[in-house]
Amino acid sequence: MLPTSLKPTEHEDINNNSGRLQSLQMDHTSLLKQFEHLDPHNQNTFEAKDLELLISTATKDLENYDAERHEEFKRYEMLKEHERREYLKGLDQEKREKEEKRMQELKEKHRQHPKVNAPGSVAQLREVWEETDGLDPQEFNAKTFFKLHDTNEDGVLDEQELEALFTKELEKVYDPKNEEDDMMEMEEERLRMREHVMKNVDLNKDRLVSLEEFLKSTEKKEFSNPKEWETLDAKPLYTEEELQRFEAELRDKEEELKRKAENLRQEQELLRERGKALEAQKREYQQAVLEMSQRQKEQQAAGNGQPPAGPNGELQFQPQTQKPEEINAPAEAKNNLPAEPPQNLPSHT
């Protein structure tokens, strides 16, 4: 049990022990900013009112979570029906009639299951007492049963401990090996059973079942003579109008996905075109760099009196070309040369 406040002497003891103070200190102002469900008028201690507010807020959150789970399951069932209808539309008449017959047979097979006891009834608890606990059903004792299934021994049955009690009932209806049995439906059935028990047994609505609440529930008329439990397949979960709205929503989402896919395709095409342009620019740049490098080598070679180098650094020797006015130069040069002295002339003495 939580203390409602700290006495002055307790404050003094804590203040005298600096080592423990560091481990026990808490910034209540910061805590209140994070947890608005705490009492804003008391920022120094965690009082009983704070605990009540905390439990109340947590309970509302869990109730909202359960409601969301129910809605999600409903949408799951409508999606299954939508896909079933779309599948049948794609078949020819003969195959469609054959498949519809097969599906109806599976549905009927699923409905042929043993009677399901109302959750929380004496029949349901005695079945657990006998088959799970291995005890004589004629010696059923509510207090002993509670102690056996309070697995963490905290004095209450929480939601997980309650849901574990329904496994034997659910196994009557659902078998993972059977095509006609949907395990998603089984978990929805488990949730419905837990909510039924909480509604009838949890008197203070804290989503926990105390021993006192459990024993009081065994005194009610519904404990010994409950109404017959209706499983999920007893009545439809949605109307045809709801299904049509759901299908319209699916079509809208499908169109939106198509538009997004087309936009992505166009962006991808644009990126490809840009990539090609960048690749062309890259090649042009590389060619320009190569030509510039070649010119620099040629200029360096000319300055050193060496023939220009080729693309791979080899020397390139260029044949010398003659000017047009030099082409006839040899003939004229011959005419201007001095005549050779005559041969075998007599020598003078």
DSSP conformation letters of 158-185 = -HHHHHHTTHHHHHHH--TT-TT--HHH
Task: Please state, in angstroms and as integers, the Cα–Cα distance from residue 291 to each residue in 94, 266, 271, 281, 306, following that order.
Answer: 75, 38, 30, 15, 19
DSSP category for residue 40: T
The predicted-structure confidence for 92-119, as pLDDT tens digits, reads as follows 999 999 999 999 999 999 999 999 999 9
Contact residues for 181 (Cβ-Cβ < 8 A; gap 6+): 110, 173, 174, 175
More confident of the two residues 35 and 213: 213
Binned at pLDDT 50, 70 and 90, residue 64 comes out as confident
Asked whether the predicted pLDDT for residue 343 surpasses 80, the reply is no
- 136 pLDDT more than 90: yes
Burial of 178 (0-12, 13-18, 19+ CB in 10 A): exposed
Backbone torsion region of residue 313, taken as left when φ is above 0, otherwise alpha when ψ lies between -120 and 50, otherwise beta: left
Nearest to 166 by CA among 118, 217, 115, 198: 118
* Lowest-pLDDT choice from 22-31, 208-217, 252-261: 22-31
Rounded to whole angstroms, the Cα distance separating 223 from 200 reads 10
CA-CA-CA-CA torsion sign (58, 61, 66, 72): negative
Of 273, 275, 271, give the one whose Cα is nearest residue 263: 271
Distances (CA, A) of 349 to 76, 340, 346: 142, 22, 9
Give CA–CA dist 54/59, Å, rounded: 9
Q: How many CB atoms lie within 10 A of CB 214?
A: 22
Q: Of the ranges 12-21, 148-157, 221-230, 316-325, which one carries the lowest mean pLDDT score? A: 12-21
